[in-house]
Amino acid sequence: MLQNKNVLLGVSGGIAAYKACALTSKLTQQGANVKVIMTESATKFVSPLTFQALSRNPVYTDTFDEKNPKKIAHIDIADWADIAIIAPATANIIGKMANGIADEMLSTTLLATQASVYIAPAMNVHMYAHQAVIANMKKLESWGYHFIEPGAGYLACGYVGKGRLEEPETIIETIKNHQAGSALFSGKKVLVSAGPTRENIDPVRFFSNRSSGKMGFAIAEAAANMGAEVTLVAGPSQEEISNNNIKRIDITTAAEMYEAMLKYYNGSDIVVKAAAVADYRPKETYAGKMKKQAGDWNIQMERTNDILQTLGDRKENQFLVGFAAETSNPLDYGKKKLKKKNLDAIVINNVAAEGAGFSGDTNVVTYVNKQDETKNLELASKQDIANKIMQFISNDMKGETM
């Protein structure tokens, strides 16, 4: 996967910079063309000459050191790169990337590149757990950057914990696996629903639920990152998309989501219904705001269309996946839903479990396919969960066991 790939390796200033030497060597051995950019701080730990010898290419340390007068160096390298790896990535360079700061060669080049960027953090355990660093990493992840988590162990500062730069072999293997997965759904059309619906009572009131849309948006991002052409039908949500392969259709009500899903259903290869659609809506709505009155106010409700059941009934060649958010006996209810609605797979979660709520950034789920193969996914970020779900879907479509 790395043969003849142009790899930009960014080395920032930490003691783990010595591991970047081995990473450079191993990337070269894999057949990659490697160019190294070092921050000034990185040069305090390792000489640029070392990376020049290992990569067989000039090493860049200064934005204004233009080695070829016909080209602007940081733009030329940014355009040249197929893959960018930041290893080690300090809290400083992560903060610059997350806030658009470009004040030296590496940060300037990263701001200009369109390459896939892999970030391998390395820092003190308390720095890695700091709210600012966590917020910066979440922001970058939401923009489509890929993180290679540090290992745990004895750190140079004397602490023991998470923050040690992952080993070069693992970094390379992670990137190779991700690059292979990036074409997993090439040529496939994926339809995803996400978020809640809102059922109006009057111009200022509505019925809804606690869904944030985060899980559905993560599914859409995962599918797009794996090469699919994605249509995302989204209820009211604060979530944003960052992949150009995602077409977003914004809706408000269950009826609007029903129409949108049916519109794109026939042309889809894979359909993942992650939205939390209202089962009921007010039978009567009001054009003006209802005023407060003495006594109770009774609102009669009527059923909305069962979107997932309709999709299951009309299924032809689509691979149809549903979600089941439960608070008691989730596995039993989920498996019943799988059969009743003619699904190919279902993702089940207990929303009352710690770390699995609607608005959080993490989830805990169980994936079950129609062959009754079950895979439990422990607490992880919703993006990680989404990546694994899409991998399971791929395996099922190929007839492979999980």
- Which residue numbers are catalytic? 157
Q: Are 322 and 341 in contact (CB under 8 A)?
A: yes
From the list 149, 104, 120, the residue with the least C-alpha distance to 22 is: 120
Say which residues have a Cβ less than 8 Å from residue 329's Cβ, sequence separation at least 6.
Answer: none
Outline where 85-200 has alpha helix (H). Answer: 91-98, 105-112, 125-128, 131-142, 168-181
360: left (phi over 0), alpha (psi -120 to 50) or beta: beta
Q: Are 254 and 173 in contact (CB under 8 A)?
A: no
Tokens in use for 400?
């492979």
Tokens in use for 336?
């019943």
Q: Are 246 and 166 in contact (CB under 8 A)?
A: no
From the list 147, 138, 240, 258, the residue with the least C-alpha distance to 197 is: 258
Q: Which residue has the tokens 């989830």?
A: 363
Residue 60 one-letter amino acid = Y
- Report the distance separating Cα 150 and Cα 7, nearest Å: 21
Strand 301-303 with 374-381, pairing = unpaired
Sort 284 into a burial class: Cβ within 10 Å, 0-12 / 13-18 / 19+: exposed
Please measure the distance between the N-terminal and C-terminal CA atoms of the chain and give it in whole angstroms. 24
| CB-based burial, 319-346: b 16+ in 10 Å, e otherwise | bbbbbbbbeeebeebbbebbeebbbbbb
Written as one string, the DSSP assignment of 332-346 is HHHHHHHHHTT-SEE
CA–CA–CA angle 182, 183, 187 (5° rounding): 135
